[in-house]
C-alpha cells in the first residue's frame, strides 16, 4: 500500500484540524479513536463495531465512510478511490484477522502521524 497516495501527514493534519474546528460527530471520532488505538492500528469493521457499540460492520462502513469522505474532500479527492471512501484513511492489511477470518484494515501512516500531532487521542 502506498501510504501517501492521498497526501502527506501535513495534508491530513490540516484536513483533520479543519474537520475538528467545524465539528465532528462523536460516533465518527469514536471509530477513528478505536482504529487508532487498535493493535498496529489494524482492525476489522466487526471489531470496530463492537468497540463503539454498533450492531455490525455495515454501520461502521457507513459512519466511518462519512468521515473519510469529509477528509477526502479536504484533500481534494472528488471520487471515492476504488469505490471506497474509507480507502483515504485506511488500506487493506496484508493478512486477514486470524481469529475471525475477516478482512482487516490498517490506518495509513500519514493519518497516524497527523492524529498524533493533533494529540486528540492521547487518552
Rg of the chain over Cα atoms, rounded to whole angstroms, equals: 13
Q: What is the pLDDT of residues 51-73, one digit of tens each?
A: 999 988 889 989 999 999 999 99
Give the fold, CATH level 3, of 9-118.
Arc Repressor Mutant, subunit A (1.10.10)
Mean pLDDT value across the chain: 91
Q: Show me where the domains of the chain are located.
A: 9-118
Amino acid at each position: 500500500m502506498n501510504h501517501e497516495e492521498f497526501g502527506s501527514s501535513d495534508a491530513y493534519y490540516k484536513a483533520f484540524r479543519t474537520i475538528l474546528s467545524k465539528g465532528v460527530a462523536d460516533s465518527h471520532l469514536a471509530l477513528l479513536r478505536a482504529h487508532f488505538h487498535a493493535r498496529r492500528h489494524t482492525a476489522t469493521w466487526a471489531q470496530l463495531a463492537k468497540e463503539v457499540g454498533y450492531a455490525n460492520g455495515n454501520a461502521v462502513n457507513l459512519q466511518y465512510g462519512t468521515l473519510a469522505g469529509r477528509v477526502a474532500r479536504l484533500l481534494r479527492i472528488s471520487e471515492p478511490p476504488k469505490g471506497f471512501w474509507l480507502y483515504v484513511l485506511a488500506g487493506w492489511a496484508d493478512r486477514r484477522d486470524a481469529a475471525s477470518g475477516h478482512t482487516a484494515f490498517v490506518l495509513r501512516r500519514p493519518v497516524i502521524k497527523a492524529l498524533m500531532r493533533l494529540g486528540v487521542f492521547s487518552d
